[in-house]
Amino acid sequence: MDIKIGLADTQRELSIKLPEGQENVIATVEQAIDSGAATFKLEDDKGHVYLIRTERVLYVEQGSAAARSVGFMR
């Protein structure tokens, strides 16, 4: 599953490919912001860990886990 996080003061967004079974990422980010935590961590499918400051998060976009088919269908 792909997730994109828009951060303040940057034109680029942070794109992370998450391993299967992490459908609750938006809830994790929302809980970190609501609780007043300074940071939260996300780990991608290759084991890279991202430490993100909650005050810099503008938006979170969660993509679908299903692969899209390419080509022509009959």
C-beta separation of 3 from 59 below 8 A: no
46 CA to centre of own chain: 14
What's the confidence (pLDDT) of residue 1? 83
Q: What is the pLDDT of residue 21?
A: 72
pLDDT, tens digit, 9 for 90 and up, residues 6-40: 999 999 999 999 887 777 888 888 999 999 999 99
Q: Phi and psi of 62, rounded to 5°?
A: -105, 125
**Contact criterion met (CB below 8 Å) for 1 and 22:** yes
Q: Angle at the Cα of 73 (from 67 to 74), degrees rounded to 5?
A: 155
Residue range 28-73, pLDDT digits in tens: 889 999 999 999 999 998 999 999 999 999 999 988 655 666 767 6
**pTM across the whole model:** 0.76
